[in-house]
Amino acid sequence: MGPVVTVGDLLSALRQAETGNLQTFEDYCQKFRLIAAAVAGVVGDERRFDSRKGRLAWVGKVEAVSLAAISPEKVRAWKKTFLARAGSNRAKERSARITVNSILRRAGSLFSLRRLRAAGLKISSPFEDVGFEPCHPTRYRSGFDIAKLTAAAQSELGPEEFKAYLLGAMAGLRRDEIDKLEWSWFRWEEGVLRLELTEHFVGKTTESVADIDLDPEVVAIFRGFHAQAGDGFVIESKVRPRRNTTYRHYRAQLVFDNLCAWLRRNGVSSRNPLHALRKEFGSQIADKLGIFAASAALRHSDIKVTAAHYLERKRRISAGLGALLKHAQNVTALTPADKDTPISQRESAHG
């Protein structure tokens, strides 16, 4: 291969040496192109998101940008401009910090020592000394009653949507795992769902491919579904899985759309309602068995991820010291009338 001079040269060299998840790699490429376009002043319109009307042309312009034009100084300038768009709105400012950190982390992953060595490249990273913005992770808050939601799901959802609901809320599966789940993965007698590598499923991480314990009631429901469906994929769809795509393709996208719409109508207001079921699943386990059990059930590679993003505290934490105030003699309970009376008049009335 010739010298690596442009963005396109770099991505091509890295792509040839890539051995990991292709969709994850292409996501990193997309984030790097976003920064490269901003640094080099490559302007695109909405057509850059449409593969048939302009994406290839936009990608070609960005990949023609010289790598030498993307320096740490210019990346820092891009970050500053990105954050400035939030203005003085504290909520938007926090959201912008989270977003810019995510873009930097993904784009910077292309320049990991492992990837550069695998591609035989000796180049410096434009992300050197480009720090991340300080921000606290967004902790999960459910905002819905899982018991009521499950009762409504059982009576209102269609069979495919109900299967997807159960797999998210009671097995903690991710969207791609639900989409590619096969009936052969069920170990009926053991009450276990065993995720396995197939030609269509590779898993998000090494820890993704594991055994998941199921409640007996969940096993019984899926046994009934299996008796009617036979073998193949658990979620039925006329769409066939696609291999080696550079984007996330879901054969059950219509089922997911229907389920997410139903979840929003029933009080699950998060940006990704289906993923909220997984977070609720983890929170329920943490409440009963602790954070380590929740991290194992969610199949996280790092317990910090579980603690920071996936758990809502379900139980009240209190020292119980309020009991010392039960017999306090120096506190006079306010009547509804007292609440509307000025303090000076209250003091006069009570002596």
Residue 96 lies in a domain: yes
Mean pLDDT over 30-55 rounds to 81
Q: Which of 169, 176, 139 has its CA nearest to residue 151?
A: 169
270 and 153, same domain (yes or no)? yes
Residue 122 reports pLDDT greater than 60: yes
pLDDT per residue over 169-206, tens digit each?
999 999 999 999 999 999 999 999 988 777 676 656 65
Q: What is the dihedral of CA 319, 325, 331, 337, to 10 degrees?
A: 70
Domain at 253, CATH number: 1.10.443.10
Residue 138 lies in a domain: no
Residue 131 lies in a domain: no
User: What pLDDT was estimated at residue 234?
Assistant: 95
Report which of residues 326 and 6 the model is more confident about: 6
Residue 331 reports pLDDT greater than 70: no
303 and 175, same domain (yes or no)? yes
55 and 161, same domain (yes or no)? no
User: What pLDDT was estimated at residue 306?
Assistant: 76
162 and 281, same domain (yes or no)? yes
pLDDT per residue over 275-326, tens digit each?
999 999 998 988 888 888 888 888 887 877 777 766 666 666 666 666 777 6
Locate tokens 């997309």: which residue? Answer: 30
Residue 241's contacts (CB-CB under 8 Å, 6 or more residues apart) are 179, 180, 200, 249, 251
73 and 167, same domain (yes or no)? no
Mean pLDDT over 131-152 rounds to 85
92 and 150, same domain (yes or no)? no
User: What pLDDT was estimated at residue 142?
Assistant: 80
User: What pLDDT was estimated at residue 192?
Assistant: 93
User: What pLDDT was estimated at residue 210?
Assistant: 79
Report which of residues 277 and 95 the model is more confident about: 277
Residue 325 lies in a domain: no
Residue 345 reports pLDDT greater than 80: no
Mean pLDDT over 232-243 rounds to 89
- The pLDDT-based confidence of 163 (bands split at 50, 70, 90) is very high
> Which residue range forms the structural domain that includes residue 246?
146-310
Task: Report the relative pairing of strands 186-187 and 192-194 from DSSP bridges.
Answer: antiparallel
Report which of residues 344 and 158 the model is more confident about: 158
162 and 63, same domain (yes or no)? no
Domain count, the chain: 2
User: What pLDDT was estimated at residue 206?
Assistant: 58
155 and 114, same domain (yes or no)? no
Mean pLDDT over 7-21 rounds to 92
* Among the ranges given (15-29, 59-73, 144-158, 334-348), the one the predictor scored with the smallest mean pLDDT: 334-348
Burial of 322 (0-12, 13-18, 19+ CB in 10 A): exposed
pLDDT per residue over 53-66, tens digit each?
668 888 999 999 99
User: What pLDDT was estimated at residue 70?
Assistant: 96
Residue 69 lies in a domain: yes
Q: Can you name the residues that pair with 192 across neighbouring β-strands?
A: 187, 213
Mean pLDDT over 249-275 rounds to 94
Residue 12 lies in a domain: yes
Q: Which of 214, 209, 212 has its CA nearest to residue 301?
A: 209
294 and 160, same domain (yes or no)? yes
pTM over 0.85: no
User: What pLDDT was estimated at residue 299?
Assistant: 84
Residue 282 lies in a domain: yes
Nearest-angstrom CA–CA distance, 301 and 282:
14
151 and 114, same domain (yes or no)? no
160 and 287, same domain (yes or no)? yes
Mean pLDDT of the chain: 85
- Confirm if 130 and 75 have CB atoms less than 8 A apart: yes
Mean pLDDT over 320-342 rounds to 59
* Among the ranges given (105-109, 261-265, 324-328), the one the predictor scored with the smallest mean pLDDT: 324-328
Residue 167 reports pLDDT greater than 60: yes
203 and 100, same domain (yes or no)? no
Residue 340 lies in a domain: no
